[in-house]
Structure 1
Amino acid sequence: MNLKQLSHLLGLSQTTISRALNGYPEVNEETRQRVLQAAKETGYRPNRAAQRLATGRSGSIGLVMPIAAGQYSDVHFGEFQVGLAEEALRHDFHFVITPANPRDEEQAIRWMVASGNVDGYYLAYLRENDPRIAMALSLDVPFIVHGRSIGIDADYPYLDVDNLGAFRDAARLLLDLGHTRLALLNGPEDLDFAIRRRQGVETALAERGLTLDSKNIRHMLMTDEQGHRAMVELLEGDNPPTAVLCASTVLALGAVRAIMRAGLTLGRDISLIAHDDELPMLKPENFTIPLTTTRSSLRAAGIRVAQRLIAEIKKSEPSPPRRELWQADLVVRASTGPAPRK
C-alpha cells in the first residue's frame, strides 16, 4: 500500500493524508482517526525520506548512551527506555542512539543534532553543574532533561522525582521508630539524584539534632554485588547502623542478602528502606520480608518524557509544562520496625 493507493481508498488528497499522519492541527480529529485506522488496517507506513521532505522532521528522538570499558549495563536505564519506547511507538517515532564515552557526551550530542537525524533528544544522568544543559539551551532543537542539576537555575525543561523529599520522609520514619544510627547505600556521588537523596537523609537527621556519620555512607554503581559488599562492610564495622536506606531495590537485594547471612532479621534487628523504581523483575513486596519503599515508576517517567518531547517537536497545543517534579510514595512494609534495644 502506497500513499497514492491510500488516497484513492479514502477519497482524500495525499496532502491531507500526509498531514493527518504527521499530526498537523488543521486536520480535524475525525479525519485523523479515519486515516490512522486505515493506515493500520492496510499496513501503510510513510516513506521516511518523503516524510522528512514534506514536514522538515525526521520522526526520531535522539539519546546518547554513555558507555566505557568496565561499565555495567544499567537495569534502571533499560526500564526508562521501555517507557520512552512505548510512547514513541504510539506516535511512530524512532530512536537514534549514539554511544559515547561519558567524557565525550557533549560532543556526541552536537554531532547528533548537526546530522539532522533527530527532531529532539533527552538528557539523563545529570550531575552537579552539568555543562550539557547550557549546551542544550544553545542548540535550536527541542530537548528535555530527565532529572535536574544542582547548581544550575532550573530554567530548562525537566521531569524529576523529589529525591530529597522522598529520602527525608523515609529517614523521618526511621527516626520516629527510634533509630539514630542510619546508613545510606547511594548511587554514584557525582549524580544529582544521589546528592539530593543524601541531602534528604541529612535534613531529617538535622531536624533531630543528629548527623549522618560519613563512615555509614557508601556511593556506588547500583548493582546487587555492590549493595552486598557495602552492607557487609557496615555490619562488620564498629557500632553498626540499626537502619539503612538504599537508593535502589537492586542495591537492597544485595544488602538484604548480607543481613541474612549475618544472622539478623530484617525489621527486627535492623530496618531497611529502598527506593522502588517499579522494576518488573524485582518487586519489593516479593522479598522474603517485604520492603518498605519510596516509590516512583521509571517506566512512567519514560512515557512522560516522550510525551512532552514529541509534543514540543510537533508544537502541540496546549504546550506541555516546562518543569515537572513528581512526589514519591512512601509504602510501609515489614522491613521497618522499632530500633532494637541496646
Structure 2
Amino acid sequence: MNLKELARKLDLSPTTVSRALNGYPEVNEATRERVAAAAKRYNYQPNTRAIRLATGRAMAVGHVIPVMTRHEIVNPVFADFIAGAGEIYSRNGYDMLLSVVPDDNEERAYRELKSRGTVDGVILHAPRMKDERIGLLTDLDIPFVVHGRATGSPLPYNWVDVNNRRAFQRATEFLLDLGHRRIGLVNGLEFMDFAIRRRSGYEDALAARGLSADPAIMVSEEMTETAGHRAVRDMLKQPQPPTALVVSSMIMGLGARRAIEEAGLRMGRDVSVIIHDDELSYLRNGEDVPIFTATRSSVREAGRQAADMLLSIISGREGGPRELLLEAELIIGQSTGPCRG
C-alpha cells in the first residue's frame, strides 16, 4: 500500500497523512493517532526516500563513538542501548549512523555531521562533568539527547538517565542492614558522570550510619571482567578485607566472583556482592533465582526512551529541555547474606 491509497482509506489528503506520520505539530493528536493506527492495520511502510525529499530531513540519527582504551563506551553494555534505540528508529523509518572516531576527532565528527546534513539529531554518550560537547552541539544547532547527565554544565539540555546515586545508596544500605561494615566499592571510571554519582550514593549511605569511606577498598576502573577480578583480588589480600562489595556492572561482578572463589571463599556466604545493570539480553543473571543481588535498570529501555525523546524533538512535538530519570529496582539474589564477622 502506498501513501495515496492509505490517505484514500482515511478520507484525508496525502499531505495530512504524511505530516501525521512524521509528527508535525500542526496535525492534532486525534488525527495522528488515527493515521498511526491505520498504518499499522494496513501494514503501511513509508517510503523513506520520499519523506527525505518532502521534509528535507535525513531520516537518520547519529551516534559518535570515541574509541580509546579506557572509555566506558567500549563496554559491551552499549550494545543493549543501541538495540533499544534501534527499535524506535526502525519503527519510525529512521536509519542509524554510527561514527567510530579517535578521541581527538570527536569534535570534527560532529561538525561534519552538521555540514553534510547526514543526520537529523544525535545521541550523546558517556557524559563527563562539565562536558564541552553539550556546548558544541548547542552551538551547531543539532538536536541531541544525552544518555546520562553532565554535572556542572551551564547550558540546559535533554537527557535520559538512571538514578545512579540512589541505586548505589540503596545497595549500600541493604548491605549495612545485613550487618556489613567493611563494604568495598568497585566503580567505573570516575571522570564519567555516572561513576561520580554512584560513588556519592555509596558514601552518603555510609555517612548516614556514622561510617567513613575507606580509600583502601575503593577502586575506579574500566568496567571489565579483568578489572573487577584484579580489584577484588587485591582487596581480599588486605589485613582488613571487605565483607561485602558494591560493583558497577554485571561484567565486573563476574571478575569479583572469580577473585572470591580463588581466595577460597564463597560469594554470598563469606563475601556479599551487589552488582548494577544485570538486565542484559546476552548475559542473564540466572533464571528462576538471580545469581547476583542487583540494582536493576534496563539499558535497552534507556535506549528506547532516549531515541523516542530525540525523535519527538526532531519532529517539533516537544519544546524546551526534556529530562527523564529512571529508577533502578533492587533485586535480591544469591550473592548476599548476613555479615559473618
Q: TM-score, normalised by structure 1?
A: 0.88
SS at 2:137 equivalent: helix
- Give the count of matched residue pairs: 336
- Could you list the per-position Cα deviations for residues 287-316 of structure 1 after superposition, in whole angstroms to 9, with x for gaps in the alignment? 997211111100000000011111111122
Identity in percent? 42
Residue matched to 2:62 = 62
Once the 2 structures are TM-superposed, how far is the Cα of residue 165 of structure 1 from its aligned partner? 1.0
| Residue in 2 that maps onto 1:34 | 38
Superimposed CA distance per residue, residues 40-88 of structure 1 (whole angstroms, 9 cap, x where no aligned partner): 36xx55152x422311211111110112468794211111000000111
The question of whether the paired residues in 2 share the 8 Å contact of 1:266 and 1:289 is answered with no
Cα distance in 2 for residues equivalent to 1:76 and 1:282: 10
Change (3 A) 1:158 1:228: same
Shift in alpha-carbon separation, 1:32–1:78, aligned structure 2, 3 A: closer
**Corresponding residue of 2:240:** 239
Q: Which residue of 2 aligns with 1:334?
A: 334
Alpha-carbon shift at residue 283 of structure 1 (Å) = 2.5
The reply to whether residue 164 of structure 1 matches residue 165 of structure 2 is yes
Matches within 5 A, 1:211-226: 211-226=212-227
Q: CA deviation at 1:145?
A: 0.7
Name the CA distance, whole Å, in 1 between partners of 2:265 and 2:320. 49
Stretches of structure 1 lacking an aligned partner (at least 5 in a row) = none
What letter corresponds to residue 55 of structure 2 in structure 1?
A: T
1:107 aligns with 2:111: no
1:238–1:87 CA distance, 2 compared to 1 (3 A) = same
CA shift at 1:37, angstroms?
4.6
Question: Are positions 1:264 and 2:251 aligned together?
Answer: no
Q: Which runs of 5+ in 2 are unaligned?
A: none
| Counterpart residue number, 1:84 | 85
TM score, norm. by length of structure 2: 0.88
Aligned partners of 1:224 and 1:252 also within 8 Å: yes
| Range moving further from structure 2, 69-78 or 194-203 | 69-78
Instruction: Say which SS state the counterpart of residue 301 (structure 2) adopts.
Output: helix
Q: Which moved more, 1:192-201 or 1:286-295?
A: 286-295
- Report what 1:283 is aligned to: 284
Please tell me whether the aligned partners of residues 188 and 195 of structure 2 are also in contact (alpha carbons under 8 angstroms): yes
Q: Whole-Å Cα distance in 1 between the matches of residues 85 and 52 of structure 2?
A: 22
CA distance in 1, matches of 2:6, 2:292: 54
Matched residue, 1:297: 298
Distance 1:8 1:70, change over 3 A: same
CA distance in 2, matches of 1:202, 1:271: 18
Indicate the larger mover: 64-73 or 246-255: 64-73
Aligned amino acid, residue 63 of structure 1: H
- CA distance in 1 between counterparts of 2:215 and 2:69 reads 30
